[in-house]
Amino acid sequence: MALLSLQSVSKSFGALKVTDDVSFDLQPGEALGIIGPNGAGKSTLFNLITGNLRPDSGQILLDGRDVSADSVMARCAAGIGRSFQIPQPFGHLSVYENLLVAARFGGGLAAAEAPGFCMDILRRTGLAGVADSPAGGLPLLSRKRLELARAMATRPRVLLLDEIAGGLTDAECVELVATIRAIHAEGTAIVWIEHVLHALNSVVGRLIVLNFGRLLMVGDVKTVMNSAEVREIYLGAEV
Ligand SMILES: Nc1ncnc2c1ncn2[C@@H]1O[C@H](COP(=O)(O)OP(=O)(O)OP(=O)(O)O)[C@@H](O)[C@H]1O
């Protein structure tokens, strides 16, 4: 059975159909990439999966159970974790405190377990050195790492990453990819929206292409990247 399944999901904002009859399955432990031009509806798809938005029609299943009407909290508790394209930490709390909030309220960890669990995530995401720093003052790489760490602290089985590599230098990107690969290697399923294709394609096995809210293509990375239609619509002729 698929871990996550979208079945004919649609969403409009007024007259604008942003998600148009989208269906796909994510298998347990799979890493799936989502690409598409700006405004194609990628982040909206994440908001529909997490419950920040409700679909106008269609179903979202987790472990075969329809979660379309469940709250954000309930879906998080059921195993859907996400990072935001624009980092959204509690700026006045420390990095460590941000993780504690995620672990206690998102991950459901008991007060006695949460500190050790969060310390481990701080180490794994390279944030141990800034654990006591206010999250609001972090530089970009650390903010990206914190987005990832906060999502990890909710103990997801499906980790949704929204443009986590955007704006990083090549060296920073390599570090972040190594962390994401390690998370995936431990069995966490990943759906990753990303414009930095070399980073994305070094982790995922399959790609989904969205265009004007519609699912244009699904396939293995090589097939999608070699598709003339995808190159024309999204990548540009010379890529
Ligand atoms: N809450 C909203 N109300 C009205 N329109 C919205 C809302 N959220 C998104 N949109 C519009 O829906 C379309 C898709 O937005 P979305 O953020 O999902 O695209 P995206 O593929 O993630 O883009 P990008 O790659 O630039 O992040 C855009 O035209 C956007 O302006």
CATH class of 1-79+156-239: alpha beta
Which atom of ligand 1 is least distant from the CA of 210? Answer: 21
Domain map of the chain by residue range?
Answer: 1-79+156-239, 88-155
Question: Atom 27 of ligand 1 has which residue's CA nearest to it?
Answer: 38
Alpha carbons within 13 angstroms on the beta-carbon side of residue 129 total: 4
Judged by phi (left if over 0) then psi (alpha if -120 to 50, else beta), residue 184 lies in alpha
ipTM of the shown complex: 0.94
- In 57-103, the DSSP E strands lie at 57-62, 65-66, 80-82
Under the banding of pLDDT at 50, 70 and 90, the label for residue 239 is: very low
Instruction: Tell me how far apart the alpha carbons of residues 233 and 223 are, in angstroms, rounded to a whole number.
Output: 15
Q: What is the pLDDT of residues 74-131, one digit of tens each?
A: 999 999 999 988 888 899 999 999 999 999 999 999 999 999 999 999 999 999 999 9
Question: Atom 2 of ligand 1 has which residue's CA nearest to it?
Answer: 13
